[in-house]
Amino acid sequence: MDPLYQHLARHTRWRQDTPITQPSAPEPLRSIIADRGSLTAALIDLSAGNFEVQVLRQHLTIPFVHEQQKMARATKLVAGVREVELHVHGEAVVFARSIMPLAVANNGQGGLGKLGQTPLGHLLFKNGRIRVSKRQFADIDVNGQRYYARRTPYDYRQTQILVSEFFLPEINKYL
């Protein structure tokens, strides 16, 4: 994995989404980070449809301890981990890391293990029943460059999927 993405994924200091604690990113990025709708849909709108998902890695592994804790799972459980870049006009603007229970990752419920280049957001938001709660935000400094992030646990077919989205500086070109 790209060292930058590894650093971002390992970040452990997240703030709860409360009326007082909002994303600290400058506008208009803050609006996208705080939005409760589908990031996929927002990026498709921003790109006038010139959007794609590039799968970096999808495998079974033990997620980081902070991810397991957020999902209230035992810290030694294997899960499906999917890492992707979200591209606008061919340029990576978001690094996303999704953690899904083994039953979901193994294509049982909804075939999430076979998403390929299909955005996870298409499945999570397609029926309109997804509620965003317990979201967290982070500001991550890497060599003087600030990255903004959010992570959200989604209830999906009697289980939970954790999606962390790290907004790359290139996104600002399209806002």
DSSP 52-110: EEEEEEEEEEPPPHHHHHHTT--TT--EEEEEEEEEETTEEEEEEEEEEEHHHHTT-ST
Pick from 7-11, 32-36, 121-125, 167-171: least confident: 121-125
Q: Is the pLDDT of residue 115 over 80?
A: no
Question: What pLDDT sits at residue 120?
Answer: 76
Q: What residues have CB less than 8 Å from 76, skipping those under 6 apart?
A: 62
Classify the C-alpha dihedral 45-35-112-66 as positive or negative.
Answer: positive
Q: Please, what are the domains in the chain? A: 3-174 (3.40.1410.10)
**CA 95/CA 154 separation, integer angstroms:** 18
Q: Give the pLDDT band (50/70/90) at residue 107.
A: low
pTM of the model: 0.91
Question: What pLDDT sits at residue 132?
Answer: 64
**CA 129/CA 118 separation, integer angstroms:** 19
How much of the chain, in percent, has pLDDT values that exceed 90?
58
Question: What pLDDT sits at residue 92?
Answer: 98
Q: Tell me: the pLDDT tens digits for 47-73?
A: 998 999 999 999 889 999 999 999 888
Number of Cβ within 10 Å of residue 117's Cβ equals 9
Q: Tell me: the pLDDT tens digits for 142-152?
A: 999 999 999 99
Pick from 60-64, 76-80, 84-88, 92-96: least confident: 76-80
Average confidence score pLDDT of the chain = 87
Number of Cβ within 10 Å of residue 155's Cβ equals 13
Helix, coil or strand: residue 114:
helix
Q: What is the 3-state secondary structure (H, E, C) of 19-36?
A: CCCCCCCCCCHHHHHHCC
Question: What pLDDT sits at residue 113?
Answer: 65
Q: Is the pLDDT of residue 122 over 70?
A: no
The radius of gyration of the chain's CA atoms, rounded to the nearest angstrom, is: 15
Residue 43 or 128, more confident:
43
Q: Which residue has the tokens 């075939």?
A: 111
DSSP bridge partners of 58 = 82
Question: What pLDDT sits at residue 136?
Answer: 94
Mean pLDDT of 91-104: 91
